[in-house]
Structure 1
Amino acid sequence: MRNKQIIIEIVVILLVILFLYTGISKLVDFKGFTSDLNNQPFPNSLTPVLSWALPIAEIAIVVALSFERNRLIGLYAALLLMSLFTMYNALVLLHVFDYVPCSCGGVISKLTWPQHLVFNIFFVIIIFIAIKKHKSTISYNIQ
């Protein structure tokens, strides 16, 4: 039981660092982030919504993960967001889009697209593991 909790805590700490860093980086360089979004392959009419929704969602995930009673919701939200980023990254690598700048925050934007894919897949896997462990911890506590 204790090992499961340690694994969950490590994953949560990694996610808090990741999402807090990227969310704040996007807000700090809001103009650059917005510009990058305008160069994405989806309509520019989505930029005003996405430019606020993405960093707010990342920070909201951090808040959810920070409280035990909301942790599972935070893990599922993190899994959804990272899965979407991973699918988008895979489409980029499959050359579905002509030109795609990275609109990630901070140092993560320095990764190549293949490195980005590995990074994203790693996080999807550890989030999935944390969800499984968290759910088994909940069912253990109920019994």
Structure 2
Amino acid sequence: MKNLIKIWPLGISLFFAVLFSYAAMSKATGFKNFRDQLEQSPGLQGYGEPLAYGVIALQTVSVILLCYRPLRFWGLWITFGTLAVFAGYIGGILLYSKNPPCTCIGLLEKMTWKDNLVLNIGLMITALTGIMTMKAGRSK
């Protein structure tokens, strides 16, 4: 169990570092498309460009923190917070929008909004697991 508490946060951090690296690169290489899709999203009209830059920057900062051991705990918290905001937005879209545009890029392109919400909640649980095991490892 002691080894699991040491290895689990590292594995989770590396998973999110790879995931967010891929996501940030996909968004950056298809920036115009990503920005335009954000502009079309309900409630985000007029904020597409700053949001696009912000999301890419936040994912990049998260990757850096997740890869640097002394800051990994904060990287997991930022990851959890980012996923919570995304899940909240998706939940709002599902509740209040009749025909939302897809802002997914790459692997998630084929997913529905409901699928994306379930995935985000699962990823939030994964990040929280990393936070809790890291905290448990620090207290011992």
TM-score band w.r.t. shorter chain: over 0.9
Q: Which runs of 5+ in 2 are unaligned?
A: none
Measured against aligned partners, the alpha-carbon deviations of 1:44-83 in whole angstroms (never above 9, x if no partner) come to 3322211101011101100000001110110000000001
Pick closer, same or farther for the CA change 1:113–1:43 going to 2, 3 Å: closer
Mapped to 1, the partners of 2:105 and 2:72 lie a distance apart of: 24
Query: In structure 2, what is the equivalent of residue 124 of structure 1?
Result: 124
Query: Identity of counterpart residues, as a percentage?
Result: 26
What is the DSSP-based 3-state SS (H/G/I as helix, E as strand, rest coil) of the residue aligned with 2:46?
A: helix
RMSD over aligned CA atoms reads: 1.3
What is the DSSP-based 3-state SS (H/G/I as helix, E as strand, rest coil) of the residue aligned with 2:103?
A: coil
TM-score (norm 2): 0.92
Pick closer, same or farther for the CA change 1:28–1:8 going to 2, 3 Å: same
Mapped to 1, the partners of 2:16 and 2:105 lie a distance apart of: 14
Query: In structure 2, what is the equivalent of residue 134 of structure 1?
Result: 134
**Structure 1 consecutive aligned stretches of length 4 or more whose deviation exceeds 3 Å:** none
Tell me the number of residue pairs that the alignment of Structure 1 and Structure 2 aligns: 139
Measured against aligned partners, the alpha-carbon deviations of 1:2-33 in whole angstroms (never above 9, x if no partner) come to 11122112211221121111111000001100
Q: What is the Cα deviation at residue 43 of structure 1?
A: 4.0
Contact 2:9 2:133 (C-alpha < 8 Å) held by counterparts:
yes
Contact 2:90 2:113 (C-alpha < 8 Å) held by counterparts:
yes
Mapped to 1, the partners of 2:58 and 2:44 lie a distance apart of: 20
Question: Which residue type is aligned with residue 111 of structure 1?
Answer: M
Q: What is the Cα deviation at residue 36 of structure 1?
A: 0.2
TM-score (norm 1): 0.90
Query: In structure 1, what is the equivalent of residue 104 of structure 2?
Result: 104
Query: In structure 1, what is the equivalent of residue 80 of structure 2?
Result: 79
Query: In structure 1, what is the equivalent of residue 68 of structure 2?
Result: 67
Mapped to 2, the partners of 1:80 and 1:65 lie a distance apart of: 14
Q: Which runs of 5+ in 1 are unaligned?
A: none
Contact 2:42 2:93 (C-alpha < 8 Å) held by counterparts:
no
